[in-house]
Chains A and B, each alone.
Chain A
Amino acid sequence: METLETISTHAAYDSKIEGNIIFTRVDAAINWMRKNSLWPMPMGLACCAIELMATASSRFDISRFGMEVMRFSPRQSDVMIVAGTVTYKMALAVKRVWDQMPEPKWCIAMGACASSGGMYRSYAVLQGIDKLIPVDVYISGCPPRPEALIEGLMKLQEKIDAEHSTEDQKRTFFEENA
């Protein structure tokens, strides 16, 4: 009769399934899945949107990072790339699109205008999209090069990789039911 220990040891070295099983944490698996298929919501508002389009095109090709699926429906998007000058007239529309995106969601402020209002210190321009929605990554530049946007997206991948969503859920659950 085999003990439990020998069964598990045996299973791990079973030649039929060897190489097909990976041991990992739930968080690491979820993060790995999330970060490698970020679907961007292109919030193109000014010239930064041209660089955003260049980033998606063949020369720079963000499909290498699994991010090529630009969704014009916020309900199918994971990351909103605010590319350009956010005017006060547009600000609440941007907020509304953001609110329509399902969790988990991230936001990238691309370029000087989206980050801080940029050179537009004026009555018409919101002084940074972070006044309305939480921003995960800021990208400097006016407009940023596609390489800079790709680095921003890779920074976001690093950030997602370090998240503890299930652990946090578990902790909240135990705290609430303690």
Chain B
Amino acid sequence: MPESAVAATDIPALREALREGILSEVEFRGENTLNLSLEALPKALEFCKHKLGYELLLDISSLDHFGDDPRFEMVYELASLDDTRHLRLKAKVSEDESVPTATHLWKAADWHEREVWDMMGIPFSGHPNLKRILMWEGYPFFPLRKDFPLAGRPTDMPDVAFTGVAPLEGGPFVTAPGAETVAKREPRARHQE
């Protein structure tokens, strides 16, 4: 893919189709990102697939902006099959909202959305099989949320699975990539807030 943002040629069409559904546009190092309202998201995804030819859903991920409102953010990575155009769509989701599924557009969305549900606890409306994909059914937490401790929480489901709390011994141990010396860059125990 050339360095120039080929996907930028699609932005005017999206702008016309979605109008005020687009909250902001970002272009960074040849990558195009559109921040959308949650209401505009299903229409945007459908428009991208059927009108603009983004046949491939590369990834669905989510962010937890703990402390902000809306708290969560969905991220969709789209691409055309010839790999010339990449487009990123984002939409913020508050805790009591659910996200319209994209499974009717891309089959690939099925497992990605299940993973988002499993790890972050964002529900999807219209999903054909919304159950946990990594943790077991009945596990009570959403581990990738910011308010979930790295060490985990104890649970027990007899004959299914159990979890314990991992000893962190002063950790979590994290690196400081920007620090001046190697000694300061190495993983050290930093206090959790």
Contact = CB atoms under 8 A, between A and B. Distances in A.
- A pairs with B: yes
Contacts of A123: 141, 143, 148-153, 163, 166
A3 to B, nearest CB: 68
Interface stretch (A84-92, A134-142, A159-167): A84-92
Most buried by B among A121, A123, A127: A123
Contact of A127 (B135, B166, B172): B166
Contact of B160 (A92, A121, A124): A92
Given A89-B135, A127-B167, A122 B150 contact: yes
Chain B interface, DSSP helix/strand/loop, else mixed: loop
A117 B134 CA distance: 19
Given A92-B159, A92-B160, A117-B166, A124 B152 contact: yes
Nearest to A96: B159
Interface residues of B, number: 22
Contacts of A121: 150-151, 166-168, 171-172
Nearest to A88: B163
B162 interface: yes
B123 to A, nearest CB: 21
Given A88-B163, A92-B160, A123-B166, 8 more contacts: A89-B136, A91-B162, A122-B152, A123-B148, A123-B150, A123-B151, A125-B166, A127-B167
Closest 7 CB pairs of A and B: A123-B152, A121-B166, A88-B163, A123-B143, A88-B161, A127-B166, A89-B161
